[in-house]
Amino acid sequence: MPEGDTIFRAARTLHRALAGQLVTTFTSVFPKLNRIDEDSPIAGRTIERVEARGKWLLLHFSGNLVLLTHLLMNGSWHIYRPGEKWKRRRSDMRVMLATPKIIAVAFAIQVAEFHTEVSLARRRGFNQLGPSLLADTFNPTEAAARLRLLANEEIGAALLNQTVVAGIGNVYKAEICFACGVHPFRLVVSLSMAETMCLMAKAREFLQANVTSTSRDRVVTYTGMRRTTRRDDPRESLWVYRRRGEPCRKCGRAIEARKQGIEGRTTFWCPGCQPQK
């Protein structure tokens, strides 16, 4: 599933391509979107801005209308010039909007909803989001307090809870815990305040490092090199994620992994650098 850095970069690219432009065509396979379009046409509206909030992407149109999308596991946004060949099958298209200069296509997304600002504030799963790690207003102390409210949950599972902070996915969960020397299967209640603050600080640091102004923005599901080690070699870009059985880059112990949480996501850690106290 795309994580917060991927969605941030996608929103940034979409905003640069679409903001201020007039919509000339809107098409969707979702009946609920089409009903809104029939009653209050999207064509003729201006795209005011595109933003990311955690793993959600929002397109704001003139006339107090917002298209809220979530990519889940396989969704992606692409942009094309008029007449340019699409890189995915047309049967994968779920939403398409065109301006005189750009065609934006959402492929294989499962969540796409129109909202006003009022209905957006009531949308379950969205209105309970914790602070976005990439927001200018992010407060690590507030985020740490939210994490500590989940006292009896395992740390790795708690970090994926988007009501704590918005944007952490399975990759960053593992990398953040490693960077702070925290075993992901410990309970949140066992964290010291220093460990809690470290987790929040590293979460923000890692996501920010992957959305720098020099990052290669792509409005597609992330397939590029995400780095937490600061090493340029793509084979050494991550500390523990998907490295089960390989030697730890710090202590040499074999990386371990097992399923965690209700969704059974695989968690990776180093038993040497992250002892289970």
Catalogue the active-site residues.
2-3, 55, 265
Q: Is 28 helix (H, G, I), strand (E, B) or coil?
A: strand
DSSP 271: T
Quick one: DSSP state of residue 51? E
Q: How far apart are CA 86 and CA 92, in angstroms?
A: 11
Neighbours of 117 (CB within 10 A): 10
Using alpha carbons, list the distances in angstroms from residue 75 to 20, 62, 107, 226, 260: 25, 25, 6, 19, 24
- What is the C-alpha separation between 220 and 224, in angstroms, rounded? 10
Q: Which residue type sits at 170?
A: N
Could you tell me the maximum CA-CA distance found in the chain, to the nearest angstrom?
62
Contact 221, 236 (CB under 8 A): no
Given a contact cutoff of 8 angstroms between Cβ atoms, the answer to whether 48 and 28 are in contact is no
Q: Which residue has the tokens 């209308």?
A: 65
